[in-house]
Amino acid sequence: MVDLAGAFLRLPRAAQLLLVFVLVALILATLLTFTLRRFLPPDLYTELKNRIKAWWIIVLVQVAVVSIHPKGSIFLFAFVSFWALKEYFTALNVRAEDRFALFVAFFILLPLNYLWILTEWYVMFLIFVPVYGFLSIPFFLLLSRNPKGFTDSAGKIHWGLMAFVYGIGHIAYLVNLHHLYDPNAPYNGLTLMMFLVFVVEMSDVFQYVFGKLFGRRKVWPSISPGKTWEGLIGGVAAAVVLGYLFRFLTPFSPLESVLVSFLITSLGFIGGGVMSAVKRDLGRKDFGYILPGHGGIIDRIDSLCWAAPIYFHYIAYFHGHYLLITGTRS
């Protein structure tokens, strides 16, 4: 049986404080939604209830996975990448001849990408999907002996690998950065990962709340009608404040925490816009239905696909000289 209490006590103190904050916020949100159910429109109440229920699942699953093993998050994000790829290719109109290349993407390239992360092979992780994925997918498409739609299929498959395997893989690799810091430091690779996910996801939550309450002017009316300037400004500002308050999860200075929070929330908004454009191009509202109130996995991680690589490389360049100097497995 998973020992959640023991897992919680084994976490760094900074991570414990963040989880307490998140759990208290979820409890208050649950109570508030239940209290206001008579005053909210039925559709809004149902949407809020489903979103809060989904967040309970997301948080408890994350804690449970970490309790199994310190690197449990790597396996969790490997599953997230797999499911996101599944949603992506289910939504696309791929050729029957692409099935072998898709098999390679799902069962060879994706597992190897996370194997490099698990074994902390930094350089191989950096180049594997962008280089070897880019070179191998067209080769396997050649085996179909059908040139019609070849370029379209190659682009779709590699784009999906870059967004949902390589991009999300950067979140998982953050867990490995324990060797950058003193074991007695209040932060480590796990807390760096938690800071990224917390700030970006809270920005999405606040964008939704401010957009519902004050949204008037739409940012991309034809791409994402629900995204407004009021929601964007309010959501990013609120998340930046939280990033400043929870900077103890990171080695960032106060000013740096503000700048980094602004950077990743802005990139997250762009990522959400890109995925909304993909959905509109495919004529879909959501990528899936695995998370009630949120849609599919992609609908929940779209902002992280864009924010994670930049956040990771910022840390590697300014706070991870060990990585840059060695670039090898530890």
d(CA 201, CA 196): 8
- The pLDDT value recorded for residue 116 is 95
> Residue-wise over 288-320: b if at least 16 C-beta within 10 A, else e?
bebbeebbbbbbbbbbbbbbbbbbbebbbeebb
Q: State the average pLDDT over residues 87-92.
A: 90
User: Residue 220: what pLDDT?
Assistant: 84
How many folded domains does the chain comprise? 1
What average pLDDT does the segment 268-278 reach?
92
CA distance 207 to 229: 9
Mean pLDDT of 50-54: 75
Is the pLDDT higher at 307 or at 73? 307
Q: Which residues pair with 218 in a beta bridge?
A: 228
Q: Are 298 and 157 in contact (CB under 8 A)?
A: no
Domain range for residue 284? 4-326
Q: Which residues 6+ apart lie within 8 Å of 34 measured at CB?
A: none
| pLDDT, position 82 | 96
Most confident of 24-28, 53-57, 272-276: 272-276
The pTM for the full model equals 0.89
Distance between CA 198 and CA 204 in Å, rounded?
Answer: 10
> Taking 60 as the threshold, does the pLDDT of residue 207 lie above it?
yes
For residue 182, the model assigns a pLDDT of: 67
Q: What pLDDT was estimated at residue 317? A: 86
pLDDT digits (tens, 9 = 90+) for 178-192: 766 666 777 788 889
CA distances in angstroms from 292 to 52, 54, 231, listed in the order given: 9, 6, 22
